[in-house]
Amino acid sequence: MVEHRVIDVNGIRLHIAEEGTGPLVVLLHGFPESWHSWRHQFGPLAAAGFRVVAPDQRGYGGSDHPEDVNAYSILHLVGDVVGLIHALGEERAFVVGHDWGAPVAWHTALLRPDVVRGVAGLSVPPPFRGERPPLRAMQERFGGRFYWNYFNLPGVADAEFALDTRASLRRLLFSASGDAPDAGGCEGALVDLERGWLADMTDPEVLPDWLTEEDLDELTESYAKGFTGALNWYRNLDRNWELTAAWHGAVVSPPALYMYGDRDLVPAFPGTPELIAGLPELMPNLRRDPIVLPGCGHWTQQERPNEVNEALVDFLTGLSD
């Protein structure tokens, strides 16, 4: 049974959900999500002999929402993960991330391989640092229409999403899922700057099978404090590029697993297909070729829980022997 508590970590308070005993597995959610995005993973991973912990990351849900935008850099986020592992009484853990949680997981393995027994990323591949700051690169390529740049307009996306939180989340989740008719193309990441990002997203009359009204209720409640904390992660993208200069060219050394859906828009981002194709050569401890889930959109572990659980259990148990 999943239990909840709040724990002091890295100068802030994090709400965590946990179940099971055994080697620690930390599950890191993305945007716009919460610990609840891992609801299908707790039981199977706990049954396989693992202690499963999923936090609301800083700026999300029941965890602290620092006001300073600079408090959301990748170094803060990695610090939260390392601090959480130690606060839970462990020296090392397996780290699994989806969407924004994947870069946090990859960077934890990159910056602190001594505390990472193995790392898995869903949707977003490992963080090989580019030659140019990402916000600047996307600004030049798409004229400010890429959603990362839109999210950097002060208060704009915050207000758009908060106007009707439940409807915003419903549109965002459906439109990036494998159920959306136009899923899988990078076009979905572009914003009409006059009308907002949600304007052209479908608001489904019926939720897809993988998302219930109760799930949407839970997620909506987690955004009671608004979207600013979550959006502040995007407002540090160029700063993260500056902060990680010392790791340019470095590779993730712990044992690794990567999986994504073939209808996910993220793997279609500029340069990402080439990166994914080269991962077996770039990643010294990638345990198998990237796993591609047919018909799956962006919400990997929610849309395809059985396949994700099978792959994670196989990967984690193989490293626990």
**Nearest Cα to Cα of residue 84 among 150, 23, 7, 140:** 7
pLDDT of 19: 98
> Which tokens hold the place of 51?
């202690």
pLDDT of 255: 97
pLDDT of 321: 63
Question: What confidence tens digit (pLDDT) does each residue in 81-108 have?
Answer: 999 999 999 999 999 999 999 999 999 9
DSSP output for 179-224: TSTTTTSGGGGB-BTTTBSSTTS---SS--TT--HHHHHHHHHHTT
Task: Please tell me the distance from the alpha carbon of residue 195 to that of residue 207, in angstroms, as a whole number.
Answer: 24
Number of Cβ within 10 Å of residue 217's Cβ equals 11
The residues annotated with a catalytic role in the active site are 99, 298
pLDDT of 128: 85
pLDDT of 183: 61
Q: Assess whether pLDDT exceeds 70 at residue 304.
A: yes
Candidate CATH numbers 1.10.357.10, 3.40.50.2300, 3.40.50.10320, 3.40.50.1820; the one for domain 3-320: 3.40.50.1820
Task: Please tell me the distance from the alpha carbon of residue 59 to that of residue 62, in angstroms, as a whole number.
Answer: 9
1-10, 212-221, 238-247, 265-274: the lowest-pLDDT one: 265-274
Mean pLDDT of the chain: 96
* Global pTM value: 0.97
Question: What confidence tens digit (pLDDT) does each residue in 108-134 have?
Answer: 999 999 999 999 999 999 988 889 999
Question: What confidence tens digit (pLDDT) does each residue in 144-201 have?
Answer: 999 999 999 999 999 999 999 999 999 999 999 999 987 656 778 999 999 999 999 9
pLDDT of 185: 66
Question: What confidence tens digit (pLDDT) does each residue in 49-70 have?
Answer: 999 999 999 999 999 999 999 9
Question: What confidence tens digit (pLDDT) does each residue in 207-244 have?
Answer: 999 999 999 999 999 999 999 999 999 999 999 999 99
**Nearest Cα to Cα of residue 165 among 208, 223, 214:** 223
pLDDT of 184: 56
C-beta of residue 28 within 8 angstroms of C-beta of residue 98? yes
Beta strands 291-293; 256-261: pairing state: parallel
Q: SS3 of 41, please?
A: coil
